[in-house]
Structure 1
C-alpha cells in the first residue's frame, strides 16, 4: 500500500507534468491542481527537488517545474524515492536486500517463492509505467 505522502507526491508531480512546458507553478497552484495540502507540499517538493525531479526558480514568475521529461520518470523510481524499498519482503529487495530474521534458508522458503513471483510481475509493470502514462489517464492530472 502506498502512503499518503506518496499519493500527494505523485499528484504534485502530475500537476507539474500537466502544466505548460517550462511553466513554473507556485505551491498554491500545485495544491489547487493536485488537491494536496500546501503544508505537506512544501516538504514533498523539497524532497522532489533534492531527488532531481523538480526545479525551482525565485521571483515573480517563480515556482516549481519538472526538470526531467515525464516519460523518463518511472513509477517504480518515484515510489522508491518517496517511500523507500517497494519489495514485500526484505529478501526480495534489489536495492535494500536484507535476509529475513526468521528465515533459515531462502532457497526453500515458501513465502519467498510465492511473493517473488507476484512481486516480479508487479515490478515489471510498475517499472514500465511512467509519469507520462499517469498524465494520459483521463481526469487524473486534474486531481
Structure 2
C-alpha cells in the first residue's frame, strides 16, 4: 500500500487541529498548520479544502478565521481522512475489490483483494484521531505493530 503525501499531510494537519480542539484557540490557519507540521502551505490549502468538503473540518473566514475539526477527534477515523483526500482505501485498476472478476488461474484473486481492503479497514476505520494523539491505539493495532517482523522491510 502506498500512502500518498496528500494523505500523510492530511492526517498530520488533522492531528494538529485535534490538538488545538478545546484549547480555546481552536481556529487554526493553514499557515499555522503548515508551520507546525513543516508542510508546503499551497499543497495544504488544497488538502484542507478537500477535508472541508468531506465535512471533517469547518472554516471561519476573516483575519481571525481558520479551520477546526467539524467533530470530536474521537469521532474522526484515519479511514475518514484517507477517503476524503484520496478516495477509496483499495482499488484494483480503478475498480472496487468486490467489483473485480477473473477467469482461470486468477479466479479467486478478488477474494484476496477484498481481504486486503478489510485489513485496511480494521486499522484505519477503527483508529481515531484521538487514539493517535493520545498514543492509546486500539489493542489490535498495537498487536499488529508489535509483531516481530512488522517494522522490517520486505
Q: Which has the higher contact order (CA 8 A, sep 6+)?
A: 1
Aligned partner (choices 124, 127, 130) of residue 125 of structure 2 = 127
- Worse overlay, 115-124 or 51-60: 115-124
Counterpart residue number, 1:141:
none
Q: Find out whether 1:45 has 2:48 as its counterpart.
A: yes
CA RMSD of aligned residues (A): 2.2
Aligned-residue offset at 1:129:
0.6
Question: CA 1:99/1:31 → structure 2, altered by over 3 Å: closer, same or farther?
Answer: same
TM-score (norm 1): 0.78
Aligned-residue offset at 1:37:
0.7
1:64 partner SS = strand
5+ unaligned residues in a row in structure 2: which ranges?
Answer: 137-154
Q: Find out whether 1:78 has 2:81 as its counterpart.
A: yes
Paired positions, count: 130
Alignment of 1:34-113 (within 5 A): 34-89=37-92, 90-92=95-97, 98-100=99-101, 103-104=102-103, 109-113=107-111
Residues 55-94 of structure 1 show CA distances to partners (whole Å, capped at 9, x for unaligned) of: 111233211111111111111121112111112533525x
Counterpart residue number, 1:6:
7
